[in-house]
Structure 1
Amino acid sequence: MTEIYVSTDVETDGPIPGPNSMLSFGSAAYLADKTLLSTFEANLETLPAAQGDPKTMAWWETQPEAWAACRENVEAPESAMARYLAWLKALPGRPVFVAYPAAFDFLFVYWYLIRFAGESPFSHSALDIKTYAMAMLGTDYRDSTKRRMPKRWFDPIPHTHRALDDAIEQGALFCNMLKEHRGGGNDGDK
């Protein structure tokens, strides 16, 4: 069965689900050749009794447009995660969770899927773009940052801190890395 790379980005009001809430998330489903099959996005109501982390909320004050975008048309997590699960199951292949950083984004998405939809088609695994870059570049993990990655890996897609925009950007980055790693092109740094 074909793997579908589900590049996902979350926006939250703190570092962990439960005490904090996932405010917004977006996923972009890609084939390995960078064909964008479908997208999903949702803005969520905050969890009852959860509170925004002071450091995270201070950061949000520096991002008023992104904050406004993630607070429009909010829906209950139960509804959003049921729609998301149905979307994932309708993809024409096996979904693979992809993110940068996967540990953070997967933590929230997995928790919300299990809590509100009862299951996760991703199982217990996620593909981390930074770790993949470390392996490809032969660098230490902490040196495998976006600013040290070759420019040829990046499409001209802005990073807006809007979940779906960032999921699309990161999915294209991953597909470009995958193509190069599999021998499909390395035309030098642009």
Structure 2
Amino acid sequence: MSDKPRVEIYVSTDVEVDGPIPGPHSMLSFASAAYLADKTLLGTFAANLDFLPGASGHPDTLAWWKDHPDAWQAARRNPQPPQAAMQDYVAWLEALPGLPVFVGYPAAFDFMFVYWYLMRFAGRSPFSFSALDMKTMAMTMLRKDYRRSTKSAMPKRWFDDLPHTHVAVDDALEQGALFCNMLKESRSR
């Protein structure tokens, strides 16, 4: 057995939901893009989910969805039972050639849903119970207050020419590339 530590795999993850918290509201769709630190994309995972029994959409979130009908349609295409999707997701994460690190923007929101669904439907989380927040990373790199460390405050050089469509897989890819660019710059300082 090797004493060499396993490489970290940065798993950029985006969720699409119908309310502010899991349980009373459902995760409609989620996707992850697994990157090495050098921005090598190892693969993606995406799933659309059935609504949770007894859950309902929050009026504010449903109003937001009315302004994004293409994204709503993408999130509702071929939904599957959450248990099957989360078990497949765990298998995908555990097959990655390293240790998965959850990366989100903002991590607190996306991780809350993913972790809740993992624990509820798969019984475990390959991420343990932690997540890397890109907004906090931006705060330290930009030397700005947290609430001022938004994407609009970030330098253009951090962004690849990738769309942010509110379709989970598109956003996971876009944010994963952004994270890798930030990581490269932070390590070169």
Counterparts of 2:52 and 2:87, CA distance in 1: 16
Report the Cα offset of residue 58 of structure 1: 0.3
Report the Cα offset of residue 65 of structure 1: 0.3
Counterparts of 1:18 and 1:181, CA distance in 2: 37
Unaligned runs of 5+ in 2: 1-5
Report the Cα offset of residue 169 of structure 1: 0.2
Report the Cα offset of residue 27 of structure 1: 0.1
Matches within 5 A, 1:123-142: 123-142=128-147
Match of 2:118 in 1: 113
Matches within 5 A, 1:138-153: 138-153=143-158
Match of 2:164 in 1: 159
Match of 2:188, SS? coil
Tell whether 2:84 aligns with 1:83: no
Tell whether 2:37 aligns with 1:37: no
Unaligned runs of 5+ in 1: 185-190
Report the Cα offset of residue 136 of structure 1: 0.6
Counterparts of 2:94 and 2:186, CA distance in 1: 28
Match of 1:182, SS? helix
Q: How many residues align?
A: 184
Counterparts of 1:176 and 1:68, CA distance in 2: 31
Report the Cα offset of residue 174 of structure 1: 0.2
1:115-174 CA-partner distances (Å, limit 9, x unpaired): 000000101100000000001111100110000000000001010000010000000000
Matches within 5 A, 1:21-60: 21-60=26-65
Find the partner of 2:181 among 168, 176, 181. Answer: 176
Counterparts of 2:182 and 2:55, CA distance in 1: 38
Report the Cα offset of residue 177 of structure 1: 0.3
The letter of the residue matching 2:140 is: A
Report the Cα offset of residue 95 of structure 1: 0.2
**TM-score (ref. length: structure 2):** 0.97
Of all paired residues, the percent bearing the same amino acid is 72
Match of 2:170, SS? helix
Structure 1 runs (4+) deviating above 4 angstroms are: none
Aligned-CA RMSD value: 0.6
Matches within 5 A, 1:62-73: 62-73=67-78
Counterparts of 1:68 and 1:142, CA distance in 2: 31
1:75-124 CA-partner distances (Å, limit 9, x unpaired): 00000000000000000000000000000000000000000000001011
Counterparts of 2:26 and 2:111, CA distance in 1: 14
